[in-house]
Each structure stands twice: as C-alpha cells, then as structure tokens.
Chains A and B, each alone.
Chain A
C-alpha cells in the first residue's frame, strides 16, 4: 500500500469496499483515535522543545556545578568538558543533536551519575509509577464509592460526614499528612513498615517491570511481595487523600445531576431496580466528568510524589528531579521533563479515548 493512501483512508472514513462492512460503526472511533495519537505525538515534540529551551534558560553554569574547584582554574579542561558535553555548540544545534539522539532512544548522559539518563529513568520511574498508580487506583475506587454514597444519601449524616472528609482530603498539605501518617501508622501503631520500597535486609526482586510488587509476584518471592506492598500502603493512601476528596465531591455532584434527569425518573417509574438504575444509567452518564477530574488529578498526584517520596525515603523520579535540578544536571532535567510531559500527554489521550468509549457523541464531534 502506498503511503498517501493511509491518511486518505482515515479522512474518508474507510477505503472503498470497507464502508459497506457491518463494522462501519468502528471507523469514527478509529479516526478519533488516530487524530488523538497524532496530536499526542505533536505534543511530545512540543515538550522536547519547551524542556530544552527552559532548561537552557536557567541561570547557572553546569561546568561550575560539575567540575571540581581545581579543574575550574584550568581553561583547557573546562573547554574540553564543554566540548565533551556538546555545550560549545550553538543552542539550535544542541537541540537538533538532542532530538536526533532522542529519536534513537538516547536521552544523553547524566552529568551526575555518568550513566545514560534512560538507565537512570528506568531505575526511578517504576517506583513512582508503582506509587502513583496505586494511589490513583485507590482514589478511583474509594472516591467514586464515597461520591455515590454521598449522593444517594444526600443531606443525611453520612453525606455530611463524607463531605467533611473530602474537604479535609483536599485541604491538608500532602507533606504534612505524610509525616503524620508515618508517625501514627509506623511509629505509634506499628502496623506499617518504615522507609524505602522493601525491608532493608531484603534484596530487590529480579527486574522485569521495575515494579517491586509485580516483579516479586512474578518471581514467586512472596515475602518480598508482602514487604513491597506493605511499604506502598501508607504513601499511596497519603498521596491518594487529595484525589479521593476531589473525586468524592465531583462524583457526588455528577450523580446528583444525573439523578434529576428525566430518563432516570422514567426508569424509576418503569420499576427498574435501584441497582440497575445506578450502574446502567446514572454512573455511566456521570463517568465523563469523573474521568476528566481523575485525569487532571493524576497530574497533581505526580507532583505530590516529590514530597511523599522524600518523607518515606522512596527512590523515585521526584527525588531524581530534585537532585538533577539542584546540580544543574541538564540532560537529567530534560529527561525528567520529557517523561512527566509525556505522562500528561498519555493521560490526556487515555481520557479522550475513554470519553469516546463511554459517550459515542464525542467520537463524532
């Protein structure tokens, strides 16, 4: 198939002959997906440009930050270091080199660890994904459940209690909550383990995904799994507190709004059981705003990991970003920027796709 035919196929909604097939209804979704993917790729490109420009605008000289005092007095050595790290070239050329490397999966070498940034990220990102992923999972389950309960029991004491709880979740600073949770659950009640990702006397499970819980389960090391899961609970709950609060409030109002719609009243009048009405009519309609909020919340969750990782001494992308920024390790900073930016892009993509799946009208618009 020649290349130009692919886009035209998308534009026209299908090649001749296909349109007649019964699966035609899928095409708007495929088209929608492709368009979103194209936008995502463009965004990722934009992110590389923004991170590169911003990183290079930062005042401060990476040479001073990385070479010893002795070396700074040696101009030849400084020049050599600049040349080695490509800093002697004009900025546009540096960007093109960076982009060229990026396309081949090369994010440069960290000036601090002297390892490829990709290797560093591969080490740190899974820990953060494990933490933020568990937090979002907990938030979705708990937040939506709380919201539904609050809506169904509107203005009753349980609703009031949940509203207060959600307000607390939203307003309490994450680092403070982390310290308090650490103190209460680890120190006072002694039901959760301490700092890090696993007990210090254990070795990390053989790396497959980098997620200790998954890797330990894959390797059948159940004691390591228990330790990794245990070390995850408090930080994940702390991180989830804000999102739970947010989702409770949004789910509550979304469900209340749907409950007032004519078709729900009609369904009730028809005598459908409450559970059917809730799951098939109410929740399905309420999901769109909930997903929007969850997507946005995931972003704030990522920034929250910096502090939570610090309190619970979990090696993650937050600590890596902090250390890289304070030492002007430009390739590492750009790597982190790129990863975080791309995570946002992926979240947006997923949210958009979920809209399309849940609400067919979105695909057509």
Chain B
C-alpha cells in the first residue's frame, strides 16, 4: 500500500505533464510553421544561397542516367548531368552546344562528329574527357535500360582527345535532337567504374548513382529517395558561365491537391502537376504558366476491313475528321491547350502551322457520310478510362466526340476500359475507333514516322505496309534527309497528306500547368525535362 501511495503522485504528475507537452509541441509547431523555406544565407561565393522547394507527383525510379526515362527522373538528370548538346529555354527546334562546343553531321546522316569543349569539369574537379563521353554513351546503349533505344545502332568512338564520333549504319538525322536527353548525360567514368560501372549488362553502378552524382551539371545529388524526396545541392565547381541561383533544391513527392495548398501558402515555390480545374482557383501572387504540352491526343480509325468495314471506309474517316468540334474540345481541356494541327506537336521542327489545322464542317461531314454508302454508320470508340493526361480524363472527351458525331449522323458507342486492358486492344490493332495520345520520345519529327503505314502506330490502326506507297516513300526520304529546311518541308508534306487521307484525327495538345511563387523567375516548360532547375532565378 505504501508503495502505491508513493507511486500515485508520480502517475498524476505524468498525466499532468502530457497536456503540457502537447501544448508545447503545438506552440512549437506554430513557430516552425509557415513557408520560410527561402532562407537567405551567405555562401562561399558571397551570393545569396536559397532553398527552392518543388512539389511533383513522382514518376521516379532511379537517378542513374543510364536507366532513367521517367518525367521526374529527367528533371533530376538535367540538373545533375550535362549532355553533349542541349536546348535553349523551351525551344526544341535547334540543338545548341553544351559539353560539345560544336557538331557536324555528314551529308549522308550516318556520322555525327562532336568537338568537345575544353575546361568543363566534373563536380570532383576532374576534367570531362572524350573517354568519359565514350564510356557514358556506350553504357546507356549497352546496359539495356529504358533509354537504351535512344542510341540503338549508334557506334561511339573517340577520334582524338577532343573529338568524338557517332556513327550508324542507317542515317540518323535526329541524333542531334536525341543527344540533349538527360538520359545521355556524361558521367565521370573513373568514379562510376570504381563503383561497379560497366559498358554492358554487368553494370552495377545504379546503387552508387542513387546515393551520389558523378556528373558535371550545375547541381550534385545530396540525397535521393524515389518514394519521397530528392535533394540537390549547387555544384561549387560548376564549369558553366551561369551559376545556379538556388543553393539547394528540394523536390518532394506530393499529391496534386496538397501541391496547390503548399504553393499558395508559400511552403513550396513550384507546383508541377495542377490540372486546369485546380489552376482556376489559384489566386493571389502566384504565377501560372500554361503551355501546350508535347502530348498529342488523337483518334484512330482502323483501316483493316477485317476489324471494321465502317472505320476503314475513307468517307467515314473524312466525316469523323470534319464532324469534330475542335473548339469545344479545347474548352474542355482548359486554357493553355491548343488544337493539334497535325501529328507533330506545335513546338517541334516540322509542325504544321496552326491555320492548317482541320476545321469543323458539319455539312461536309454529313455529305461524306452520305457518300460513304454505309447506312446508319456505328463506330465503337475504345479509350483508357482510368488514365489522366496533365490532369485531364479521357471520359469527357469521348462523350463530346460521341455528341459531335451524332450531329453528322454517326452513332458512337463508348467502350471505356482500364488502361491495362485498353492498351492490349490498341497495341494489337483491334480497335475500330480509338482515343489515345502520343508523347515524343525525343523532340524530333522522326519520332512521328511511327504513324506511317507499316510502322508502330500505323499498324495499330490497321494500316499495313504498302497501304499508301506515296506517303511511305515520303517517310523513307524524311528519315534520311539532313538539313532543317528540307526536313521541315518533308514533314509538312507528310502531315498534310495524313490530314487529308490518313486514318488519324489529331485533336488537341493539353496544357501543362505550372504554378510558381512570385519570387521565382525564368520558368520555361520544356517538353523533355519539364523544368530546367538551374535556369530558375529569384526576384
């Protein structure tokens, strides 16, 4: 009993202490709350060093450039690793020098000679050499990761200490447009080899590269967690002229609803994944960048008569193309989205000018239905119901298309399916009418030759090789032609023909919405790496 008597006050004291502790913690929270994440501090260089907090919905697997092909990974790769060539701002029509100070493509398009810049250094201070370039590119190609296809059939060789040559059996005019991809970042070969790196599938360097970076980019990797957060630190030995403004960049994996509140409250400075609806209610001092993304949403009408006699009828395809209310679709997609004038997105070399985009003509569409000879045409429209693209769901688009085509006399039966199921039918070329999108693997029109007969997407629409010989010849020529002007003309011709008689109906390019704090400057949406972190400044 005596012991109990002694214990009781102690228990009571503990019980009394808890509310005090909780209250204390709450007041501490109030103190620590708030978005003071830009803390001015003096760095060695004497410039203000700030922290930039970016929120994104992570699509991230790795920080190893050789295996990296996810959107979030490319943001990180761009900051950590310099590539031979790059793009200036948002312009993807012209590759510009980076680690290579100049490049020259042979007239047959099979050889690309790159002159390396002198004075570029890795973050450990060692110089970037031709051997590093050869190792890095060979490694990406031969370790068979997701981005390996970028260099399929490309041989990399060191000509001398300052020159590297890329050769291929078939002409590769797109190579200068492929080289800026952050997956082709140049690694410090000595460091990577010492940590298990190899130029084949025996490569074991990924674990090392997920803990530390071995590049020459403006940032180095401080910490990497594919599920939650990546922290970048400014590279003090960065060789480039323009040093990064932010000393530290924190990229967090945050749900889009939370992203919006964070950026509005000032807890983060950049929110990357807000939908058109969410952006409508963003108010106050934040800046909103609405840019058409490089994703092109399109309809395909199957040309295989075994799949459908209706969709393979050219007059029906014409009726679909002329019957769709493109302006209505743009209203659905929200501000910043644009009509896709052809299969090649507006920001790429060879895109059709906006005024050449197809316009709605209900009467002509009705006439085409009448001329098709198909009585009461009915089409089954298949699309992925659980897929969102820049925050947009495909469902309302499908419904709108159904309503549009009803007006011209075509009945559309909607057949939504989860993306995994829908993809199977699409890939096998079994869909009568399909609603899909194509995002560029690299910002070059060659990536769009897949829409021609006998190629990947062509086959998905039942368009076999030989279905349109003239168009195929044009495609073959475009694939090997060098020189921007000549290519521009060829791709314009291809798309004009596709828009006239092809089985595809390019619809829209939805908007990519990025919200930034008023203090952030220099944001430019990029179709390959979304945002160049090092280009961001502060007011």
Please tell me if B309 contacts chain A, counting CB pairs below 8 Å: no
Report whether B32 and A69 are in contact in the complex, using a CB–CB cutoff of 8 Å: no
Interface residues of B in 58-83 (CB under 8 A from A): 61, 67, 69
- The interface stretch among A21-29, A91-99, A259-267, A312-320 is A312-320
- Which of B25, B69, B207, B258 makes the CB contact (< 8 A) with A182? B258
Please tell me if B273 contacts chain A, counting CB pairs below 8 Å: no
Chain A residues whose CB sits within 8 angstroms of the CB of B225 once the complex forms: 123, 315
Closest chain B residue to A234, Cβ basis: B29
A306 to chain B, nearest CB (A): 12
Interface string of A38-82 (1 = CB under 8 A from B): 000000000000000000000000000001111100100100100
Report whether B255 and A230 are in contact in the complex, using a CB–CB cutoff of 8 Å: no
Report whether B29 and A230 are in contact in the complex, using a CB–CB cutoff of 8 Å: yes
CA distance A164 to B219 in the complex (A): 54
Report whether B267 and A70 are in contact in the complex, using a CB–CB cutoff of 8 Å: no
Closest chain A residue to B265, Cβ basis: A187
Interface residues of B in 246-284 (CB under 8 A from A): 248, 250, 252-255, 257-258, 261-262, 264-265, 267-268
Interface string of B18-45 (1 = CB under 8 A from A): 1000100110111111111111000000
CA distance A192 to B248 in the complex (A): 23
Chain A residues whose CB sits within 8 angstroms of the CB of B61 once the complex forms: 112
Report whether A226 and B29 are in contact in the complex, using a CB–CB cutoff of 8 Å: yes
A62 to chain B, nearest CB (A): 14
**Most B CB within 10 A of own CB, among A69, A124, A199, A280:** A199
Chain A residues whose CB sits within 8 angstroms of the CB of B15 once the complex forms: 141
B63 to chain A, nearest CB (A): 11
Please tell me if A195 contacts chain B, counting CB pairs below 8 Å: yes
Chain A residues whose CB sits within 8 angstroms of the CB of B25 once the complex forms: 229-230, 232-233
A-B contact count (CB 8 A): 147
Interface residues of A in 179-234 (CB under 8 A from B): 179, 182-183, 186-187, 190-196, 199-201, 223, 225-227, 229-233
Q: Give the total of B residues in contact with A, Cβ under 8 Å.
A: 55
Interface residues of A in 72-125 (CB under 8 A from B): 74, 77, 80, 112-115, 123-124
Interface string of B389-401 (1 = CB under 8 A from A): 0000000000000
Closest chain A residue to B224, Cβ basis: A113
**Most A CB within 10 A of own CB, among B30, B35, B37:** B30
B residues within 8 Å of A by Cβ? Answer: 4, 8, 15, 18, 22, 25-26, 28-39, 51, 53, 55, 61, 67, 69, 144-149, 152, 201, 206-207, 210, 225-229, 248, 250, 252-255, 257-258, 261-262, 264-265, 267-268
Closest 4 pairs between A and B when the two form their complex, measured CB to CB = A230-B29, A315-B228, A194-B267, A226-B28
8 contacts between A and B (CB under 8 A): A69-B149, A77-B144, A187-B265, A200-B252, A201-B248, A229-B29, A315-B229, A323-B227
